[in-house]
Amino acid sequence: QVQLQESGPGLVKPSQTLSLTCTVSSGSISSGDYYWSWIRQPAGKGLEWIGRIYTGGSTNYNPSLKSRVTISIDRSKSQFSLKLTSVTAADTALYYCAREDNDQVGASVAFDIWGQGTMVTVSA
Amino acid sequence: DIQLTQSPSFLSASVGDRVTITCRASQGISSYLAWYQQKPGKAPKLLIYAASTLQGAVPSRFSGSGSGTEFTLTISSLQPEDFATYYCQQFNSYPYTFGQGTKLEIK
């Protein structure tokens, strides 16, 4: 069973760049026809989709964050990464990576596998 | 953006009860809706996708229905492990969005 694990600094200073990596294990990020997403959740609040990347490298971002977000993939390491620039306290959240499963015609239908999440706090 | 509104936001129920959570979309999303269960300190767990398809190993007391703009998640007989927060989420269009969540508590 494929597993995802987020990693990265737990504390980032305001105006700096948040960088996280998601490592795919017990399977390759390149096997299968999947998109890989980042999702965040401020403490005690709901879930916000940040963006996604296809195995082939194409990306889609949430317009609310698009100007600050870059998602990239390193197939050789079976990893994908998130960079969020110019962070503020509003970016403090639990960040999850997740795999998008799709149906027979290739439409995304669910986030079927999630990492355990990594907490990022933005503070001086 | 497509807004998903869940009702109720809080639900108090007893073991053995039948409960239903509703998710309404601000515009039609066909059947591109998933339901997740989240327990404190844990990542969301996929329960249902494509509005009504049960994810493997999810107990059959969970069911989903609906299409277009109105969807429901039903738990036919609540078990102690079902007390959690439930979220709906749409895949019809970007950005993907989630409902605000329904917290299911023990009465």
The type of residue at B80 is P
Nearest to A94 by CA among A48, A41, A44: A41
Q: What is the pLDDT of residue A59?
A: 96
B47-102 pLDDT, tens digit each: 999 999 999 999 999 999 999 999 999 999 999 999 999 999 999 999 999 999 99
Tens of pLDDT along chain A (124 residues) come to: 899 999 999 999 999 999 999 999 988 888 778 999 999 999 999 999 999 999 889 999 999 999 999 999 999 999 999 999 999 999 999 999 999 998 888 888 999 999 999 999 999 9
C-alpha dihedral sign at B76, B81, B86, B92: negative
In chain B, how many H helices and how many E strands? Answer: 0, 11
Which of these, A17, A11, A14, A28, lies nearest to A79 by C-alpha position?
A28
Inspect the interface and report whether the beta carbons of B91 and A49 lie closer than 8 Å: no
Q: Which residue of A has its CA nearest to B30?
A: A109
Question: Which residue among B43, B87, B94 sits closest to A114, beta carbon to beta carbon?
Answer: B43
